[in-house]
Chains A and B, each alone.
Chain A
Amino acid sequence: AQSVTQLGSHVSVSEGALVLLRCNYSSSVPPYLFWYVQYPNQGLQLLLKYTTGATLVKGINGFEAEFKKSETSFHLTKPSAHMSDAAEYFCAVSDQRFNKFYFGSGTKLNVKP
């Protein structure tokens, strides 16, 4: 079975500061890992994904995440926050059968001017 834990339901950073959103997963099989972003009143947009290969993956809008198997983590980072990054971010895990995704409870990112 798969599950995802996102630490911190709310994260607040200043514009220009480092963004770090934490995600830990549990999976009985090699996982596929994803980060999605949800802007207000919108759907879920894929930021980045890890399936196989390089453990540091780069996504859209300057975000990246590193898969660390030993820590069962897939934290999302961005070196310099922008006001437009304010949104809710969801980490998700899927098994290789890809029948369903398991989402974390989400982290709302607030960016202060």
Chain B
Amino acid sequence: EPEVTQTPSHQVTQMGQEVILRCVPISNHLYFYWYRQILGQKVEFLVSFYNNEISEKSEIFDDQFSVERPDGSNFTLKIRSTKLEDSAMYFCASSPDRPNSPLHFGNGTRLTVT
């Protein structure tokens, strides 16, 4: 069964550094998402992406965050200047269409900001 793949599985970075989290969604999917889960807390929506543009974003997704689909297969989340509070598990998800399609999640990237 096709999977959403995320790399790396674990990223450690210093505060103030830029990080790029990478995702390869399922190939025929059209909608892409990033969620995050701070340790011990609930899974939070960050952003949804369709047709090469952001369709919705949460208040968490401020100017420090950006998303890109650079080559038709990868879907990236960039954090420009990481903060300690950005430490979390970041999940990429994709879905084929709406309205009846659940999200397919990757295994996540654990980001640790020191």
B residues engaging A (CB < 8 A)? 4, 6, 31, 33, 35, 41-45, 48, 55-56, 58, 91, 93, 95, 98-108
Contact = CB atoms under 8 A, between A and B. Distances in A.
A13 to B, nearest CB: 22
Contacts of B45: 100-102
A51 B99 contact: yes
Contacts of A99: 48, 55-56
> How many residues of A sit at the interface, in one of the four size bands?
20 to 34
B103 A101 contact: yes
A49 interface: yes
Given A98-B101, A105-B41, A44 B91 contact: yes
10 closest residue pairs by CB, A with B: A98-B98, A43-B107, A103-B43, A44-B105, A43-B105, A99-B56, A105-B42, A100-B45, A96-B99, A51-B100
A43 B48 contact: no
10 contacts: A42-B108, A43-B106, A43-B108, A44-B91, A44-B103, A46-B103, A92-B43, A101-B35, A101-B103, A103-B35
B108 to A, nearest CB: 5
